[in-house]
């Protein structure tokens, strides 16, 4: 099994590019059943989860051609399957998003419960309730669910809990429905309006994406026709993680190919903590301050603080002066990595499964650690960067799921990191 060997305490300088967003790319690939003909997707991150999603579509009949390292041409013309491959879906949390477009096209979908990592199985109650609201008959079993609908019919549906994947899944299903659908309490993450705008260029009629109320006038079963390429937006989670790295050990670290407007809350937190940050329309420059002032954070749905940045910022707060409280309000199981940070020398005290108190700054020491999931995995890489001595981060398969050859980009700006095995 491959692992990262990292020697800490090295200053980072130069430019580090941000790749295309995983959460944008996966939803674009999942939208393929909505289209009558080929769709070209550009600026894809070369990561494990993207390959899994394309494999999921290939398994049900889509033709996939690689057009360079970060570009795909996908043709759904001969798409026949109605059942998502169990082995692939159970290793991909985002597989559930494909069920909406597939149900809208094929009138039937059978799906296992999605998996992916140790933060748990993705709850599917919102998806089932949404499909039923659109007129589908849904049967649930211990292993998954099956939905049928001769036609989907527009409806008013309120999410009982804000859900990014739920919003995207039902928005895409409703795009081919008969009549008008209104989705209330919708998620507002940047990937959602970007996807909606692209679908609109292909013949969909979606208004309000990026707000809590989305209105979709369905095409009545008419498939969409791509008139342009889908260009994946920059990964705001990766950019935010690089911000944390720059605040810890940056010496004029410049983050390129990003969109700072998607990171207003993390940027404000860092600046209030004493970190000097310059920014342009597609770049940010950050350097380590003499001291970082401790601050509290609570994860929220967008435009709040992203849950996917919680772990990297916890590492940052171990080096901040004072006491910080972190509350994970979005996902259960997202604080499963703190024992390993404490073994490295951090002072983190759990109050309950969602709340921790961090006292800093502390001196971290290198050690061997296993990545439990992709976000905590990158947090361990960051912890190793500020630790004294050498660290070995294992199970980096989890990191590869979401970050494209992260060691090469970090090495290019001065980090002593190498992949072994």
305 and 410 in a common domain: yes
Query: Which residue matches tokens 């033709």?
Result: 63
Q: How far is residue 236's CA from residue 309's CA, in Å, rounded to a whole number?
A: 9
State which residues form the domain around 330. Answer: 3-19+234-420
List the one residue out of 293, 248, 300, 256 whose CA is nearest residue 274: 293
Q: How far is residue 29's CA from residue 229's CA, in Å, rounded to a whole number?
A: 12
- Residue 163: phi and psi, rounded to 5, are -140, 120
Q: What does the block give as tokens for 236?
A: 């705001």
Q: How far is residue 136's CA from residue 129's CA, in Å, rounded to a whole number?
A: 9
pLDDT at 26 over 50: yes
Name the DSSP class of 315: H
347 and 259 in a common domain: yes
121 and 92 in a common domain: yes
Provide the β-strand partners of residue 65.
Answer: 73
241 and 387 in a common domain: yes
Domain final residue pick, 208, 231, 254: 231
414 and 304 in a common domain: yes
Mean pLDDT (the chain, rounded): 95
- Over its C-alpha atoms, the chain yields an Rg (Å, rounded) of 22
The alpha carbon of residue 92 and the mean position of all alpha carbons in its chain are separated, in whole angstroms, by 12
Domain final residue pick, 231, 264, 286: 231
Residues with Cβ within 8 Å of residue 185, at least 6 apart in sequence: 158, 159, 160, 161, 162, 212
pLDDT of residue 250: 95
Residues with Cβ within 8 Å of residue 68, at least 6 apart in sequence: none
- Residue 194: phi and psi, rounded to 5, are -65, -45
Pairing assessment for the beta strands 156-158 and 180-184 based on DSSP bridges: parallel
CATH number at residue 184: 3.65.10.10
413 and 275 in a common domain: yes
Section 101-119 average pLDDT: 84
Q: What percent of the chain has pLDDT over 90?
A: 94
Whether the pTM exceeds 0.75: the reply is yes
Q: How far is residue 79's CA from residue 382's CA, in Å, rounded to a whole number?
A: 43
Exposed/middle/buried for residue 281 (C-beta within 10 Å: 0-12, 13-18, 19+): exposed
Tens-place pLDDT, residues 137-158: 999 998 899 999 999 999 999 9
pLDDT at 120 over 90: no
196 and 56 in a common domain: yes
- Given pLDDT bands bounded at 50, 70 and 90, which one contains residue 311? very high
- Given pLDDT bands bounded at 50, 70 and 90, which one contains residue 182? very high
282 and 219 in a common domain: no
Section 171-176 average pLDDT: 98
Tens-place pLDDT, residues 4-21: 999 999 999 999 999 999
Domain final residue pick, 231, 258, 280: 231
Tens-place pLDDT, residues 318-329: 999 999 999 999
pLDDT of residue 218: 98
Name the DSSP class of 232: P
Q: How far is residue 176's CA from residue 32's CA, in Å, rounded to a whole number?
A: 13
List the one residue out of 132, 126, 106 whose CA is nearest residue 114: 126
Provide the β-strand partners of residue 417.
Answer: 6
Exposed/middle/buried for residue 373 (C-beta within 10 Å: 0-12, 13-18, 19+): buried
Section 123-149 average pLDDT: 94
Tens-place pLDDT, residues 227-243: 999 999 999 999 999 99
Q: How far is residue 131's CA from residue 148's CA, in Å, rounded to a whole number?
A: 9
pLDDT of residue 332: 87
Residues 23, 306 contacting (CB under 8 angstroms): no
331 and 226 in a common domain: no
67 and 190 in a common domain: yes
- Given pLDDT bands bounded at 50, 70 and 90, which one contains residue 122? low
Section 20-41 average pLDDT: 97
Burial 212-242 (b: 16+ CB within 10 A, else e): eebbbbbbeeebbebeeebbbbbbbbbbbbb
Residue 239 or 118, more confident: 239
List the one residue out of 111, 207, 131 whose CA is nearest residue 173: 131
125 and 172 in a common domain: yes
267 and 342 in a common domain: yes
Tens-place pLDDT, residues 335-392: 999 999 999 999 999 999 999 999 999 999 999 999 999 999 999 999 999 999 999 9
Residues 301, 187 contacting (CB under 8 angstroms): yes
Section 46-69 average pLDDT: 94
As annotated, the active-site residues are: 117
Q: How many domains does the chain have?
A: 2
């Amino acid at each position: 099994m491959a692992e990262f060997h990292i020697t800490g305490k090295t200053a980072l300088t130069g430019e580090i590019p941000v790749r295309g967003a995983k959460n944008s790319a996966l939803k674009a690939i999942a939208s393929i059943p909505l289209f009558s003909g080929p769709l070209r997707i550009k600026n894809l991150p070369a990561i494990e989860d993207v390959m899994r999603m394309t494999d999921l579509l290939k398994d049900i009949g889509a033709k996939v051609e690689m057009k360079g390292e970060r570009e795909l041409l996908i043709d759904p013309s001969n798409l026949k399957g109605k059942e998502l491959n169990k082995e692939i879906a159970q290793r991909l949390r985002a597989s559930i998003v494909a069920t909406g477009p597939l149900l809208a096209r094929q009138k039937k979908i059978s799906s296992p419960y999605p998996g992916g990592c140790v933060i748990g199985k993705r709850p599917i109650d919102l998806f089932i309730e949404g499909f039923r609201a659109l007129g589908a008959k849904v049967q649930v079993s211990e292993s998954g669910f099956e939905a049928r609908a001769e036609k989907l019919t527009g409806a008013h549906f309120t999410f009982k809990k804000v859900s990014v994947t739920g919003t995207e899944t039902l928005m895409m299903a409703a795009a081919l429905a008969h009549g008008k659908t209104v989705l209330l309490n919708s998620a507002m993450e940047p990937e959602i309006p970007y996807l909606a705008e692209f679908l609109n260029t292909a013949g969909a009629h979606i208004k309000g994406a990026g707000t809590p109320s989305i209105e979709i006038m369905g095409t009545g079963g008419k498939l969409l026709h791509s008139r342009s390429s889908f260009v994946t937006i920059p990964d705001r989670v990766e950019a935010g993680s690089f911000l944390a790295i720059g605040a810890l050990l940056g010496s004029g670290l410049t983050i390129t190919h990003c969109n700072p407007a998607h990171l207003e809350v993390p940027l404000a937190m860092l600046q209030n903590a004493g970190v000097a940050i310059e920014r342009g329309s597609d770049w940010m420059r950050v350097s380590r301050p003499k001291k970082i002032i401790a601050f509290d954070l609570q994860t929220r749905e967008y435009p709040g603080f992203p849950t996917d940045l919680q772990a990297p910022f916890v590492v940052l707060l171990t080096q901040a002066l004072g006491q910080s409280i972190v509350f994970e309000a979005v996902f259960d199981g997202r604080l499963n990595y703190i024992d390993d940070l404490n073994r490295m020398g951090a002072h983190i005290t759990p109050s309950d499964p969602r709340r921790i108190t961090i006292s800093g700054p502390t001196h971290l020491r290198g050690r061997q650690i296993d990545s439990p999931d992709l976000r905590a995995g990158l947090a361990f890489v960051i912890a190793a960067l500020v630790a004294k001595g050498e660290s070995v981060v294992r199970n980096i398969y989890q990191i590869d799921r979401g970050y494209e050859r992260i060691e090469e980009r970090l090495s290019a700006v001065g980090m002593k990191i190498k992949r072994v095995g």
